[in-house]
Amino acid sequence: MSGIKIYFLFLVAAFACSCDSKEEQKLADRPNIIFIMADDHAYQAISAYGGGLNETPNIDRIAKEGAIFTRATVTNSICAPSRAVLLTGKHSFMNGKVDNIQAFDWDQDNFPKLMQANGYQTALIGKIHLDGQPQGFDYSMVLPGQGDYYNPDFLINGETKRIEGYVTDITTDLALDWLENGRDKDKPFLLLYHQKAPHRNWKPAPEYLTLYDDKEFTPPANFFDNETNYQGRGTAAREQKMEIDEIMRWGRDLMLEVNPFGDSTGLAGELKRFNPEQLKAWRAAFDPKNEVFLKAYGQLDEKTLSLEKKREIAIWKYNRYIKNYLRTIKSVDDGVGEVLDYLEANGLAENTIVVYTSDQGFYLGEHGWFDKRFMYEESFRTPLLVKYPKEIKPGTTIKNLVQNLDFAPTFLDYAGIKAPKEIQGESFRKLMSGESDKWRDAVYYTYYEYPAEHSVKRHNGVATDRYKLIHFYYDIDEWELYDLEKDPHEMQSVYDDPSYAEVREMMHKKFEEVRAKYGDSDANDKRFLEEYMEVYNRRNNN
């Protein structure tokens, strides 16, 4: 072989090695992403938001070291549809998962698939609440359906296994184990680390069963909103079934094995899942408290109760609810701390984006309610905290209207992957880095699961930084308009107020613009209603 040929082959080999090295380096420089999602975690119950209910020092660390969003929202405030929006970056009416009944199509694109195809190690651990085998993950270990707090079953790449212990702790341990032993450490990673807590029914960990026993919580100022029949609001607020006082179950929600009428509540059946040690701790914590309540209110006759006595019982229910809810969050916060400590100890903190959020907001007694579903602020807003030392300054506050619709394009942006055209969200990376404050001026919302549990009527709407227009439809046709600057708790619709005529016209125009932008229509509403009612009627006729 001539000297020229040898030299040429040497150059080709050297160039190839150089390209491979550059590609490997480029891949190694991409940030890791840990996306932590709780279920039904209200922003009011994160101390960084200043609600004063509880302390979440580890979740707060993310805000102190990065950014906190004060107006993050969801497109559809219910579990499975929210998660479908997260994965696809598309509104519910585009990805097909409009409610908890319709199937989710895992065959459509999602951002983990795109990251997996572009060199990322991907894992999903915890709750996803979407039927079918998760796609886009090298490893998945998920709870079937809602999952159980004690001794939960997990689907490990499709195989069912029961693990003894408390679900929040187990989920954290599994996430840490994957970070340490399950991934290829030469590749960037994407970890979706999803907790069941604080979803109903709120069973705290053994070590927190008596947390807050020495504290009495004062309900929100509008807790007894029902006493005025939700004056200032419409039919939807009056006909919901989310009231702590009226709807919460003595057993499943309030942890009484016998109710004040002396009847069994069915809780004993749920406690059969506990092992002897867990059951002993549970009874030691709850039996004395339950006995005190039953001694004071046992054999009550609700028909003859005075208003004062009804209020006393309602406040007791609120305290039983809020304490258990906050107790489950304490375990979530512990897990966040363990993950942050792991990143620090292993030199991963600098190049890892850590996100904490919830699949939607939740009512903690506002209007006397629990649950979510409405476009009203407590369920429409969701907590969002993000840290990434390379780009986000500690203590950053962001007031822009971001949505769960925006997670997919944001993560793809960080990974250097072009978002497909069908993704409807926008990357908020530049908002967090401070490079730009350009952003949308309105967000769109839809809710479809009615008739159903909690009886929250079908509605859609549009929100700006100050105003919110909501349309309730199907069995009613009512509009509500709120001025959030003057009425942050949404106590009085100003839709029919003559002084808001121009605002009403402006918001109707915005509603139509945003609806058209995302491809929604009355035809969509009709189609999804027909599909839903077919399943609903079949279930209720069997």
Phi, psi at 268, each rounded to 5°: -55, -35
172 and 335 Cβ atoms separated by less than 8 Å = yes
Which of 408, 361, 357, 409 has its CA nearest to residue 385?
A: 357
pLDDT attached to residue 26? 66
Beta bridge partners of 468: 463, 482
Question: Using omega within 30 degrees of 0 as the cis cutoff, is the peptide bond preceding 201 cis?
Answer: yes
Residues ≥6 apart with Cβ < 8 Å to 162: 151, 152, 153, 154
**Domain 31-204+319-541 has what CATH class?**
alpha beta
Q: How confident is the model at residue 22 (pLDDT cuts 50, 70, 90)?
A: very low
Task: Find the mean pLDDT for residues 158-162.
Answer: 90
Task: Express each pLDDT in 302-323 by its tens digit.
Answer: 778 899 999 999 999 999 999 9
What is the distance between the alpha carbons of residues 330 and 324, in angstroms, rounded to a whole number? 10
Q: In whole angstroms, what is the distance from residue 60 CA to residue 46 CA?
A: 7
Q: Return d(Cα 120, Cα 136) in angstroms, integer.
A: 10
User: What six digits make up the tokens of 325?
Assistant: 């809810």
Query: For residue 63, what pLDDT band results from cuts at 50, 70 and 90?
Result: very high
Segment 452-478, tens digit of pLDDT = 999 999 999 999 999 999 999 999 999
Please state, in angstroms and rounded to a whole number, the distance separating the CA atoms of residues 176 and 346.
12
At 198-235, the pLDDT tens digits run 999 999 999 999 999 999 999 999 999 999 999 999 99
Instruction: Report the amino acid identity of residue 166.
Output: Y
| Amino acid 28: pLDDT | 67
Q: 129-155 pLDDT, tens per residue?
A: 999 999 999 999 999 999 999 999 999
**Alpha carbons 276 and 523: distance in angstroms, whole number:** 55
pLDDT tens profile 318-354: 999 999 999 999 999 999 999 999 999 999 999 999 9
Q: Answer yes or no: is pLDDT of 542 > 80.
A: no
Task: Provide the 8-state DSSP code for 304.
Answer: G
Kind plus residue range of the DSSP H or E element containing 123 = strand 121-126
Number of H helices, E strands in the chain: 16, 14
SS3 of 299, please?
coil
The whole-angstrom separation of Cα 393 and Cα 65 is 7
Residue with token string 């609120």: 318
Asked whether 124 and 134 are in contact (CB, 8 A), the reply is: yes
**Whole-number mean pLDDT of the chain?**
94
**pLDDT one-digit tens code per residue, 370-388:** 999 999 999 999 999 999 9
Peptide bond into 198 cis (omega under 30): yes
Sheet-wide strand order for 459-463: 443-447, 459-463, 467-472, 478-483
pLDDT at position 398, please?
Answer: 98
φ/ψ region of 232 (left if φ > 0, alpha if ψ in -120 to 50, else beta) reads left
Q: Could you tell me the pLDDT band of residue 6, with boundaries at 50, 70 and 90? A: very low
Nearest CA among 163, 177, 86 for reference residue 125: 177
| Residue 29: predicted pLDDT | 83
Q: Is the pLDDT of residue 196 over 80?
A: yes
Distances (CA, A) of 442 to 136, 445, 506, 520: 31, 10, 12, 15
Where, residue-wise, is CATH 3.40.720.10 in the chain? 31-204+319-541
Q: Please tell me the distance from the alpha carbon of residue 61 to that of residue 148, in angstroms, as a whole number.
A: 28
pLDDT exceeds 90 at position 11: no
- φ, ψ (nearest 5 deg) of residue 141: -140, 95
- Say yes or no to pLDDT of 367 above 90: yes
pLDDT tens-digit series, residues 477-522:
999 999 999 999 999 999 999 999 999 999 999 999 999 999 999 9
Q: What is the pLDDT of residue 213?
A: 98
pLDDT average, residue stretch 46-50 = 98
DSSP 244-280: HHHHS-TTTTT--SB-TTS-B-SHHHHHTTS-HHHHH
- Please name the residues in contact with 399: beta carbons below 8 A apart, sequence gap of 6 or more: 69, 70, 71, 465
> Can you tell me the mean pLDDT for 176-194?
97
Which of 268, 245, 233 has the alpha carbon at shortest distance from 489?
A: 233
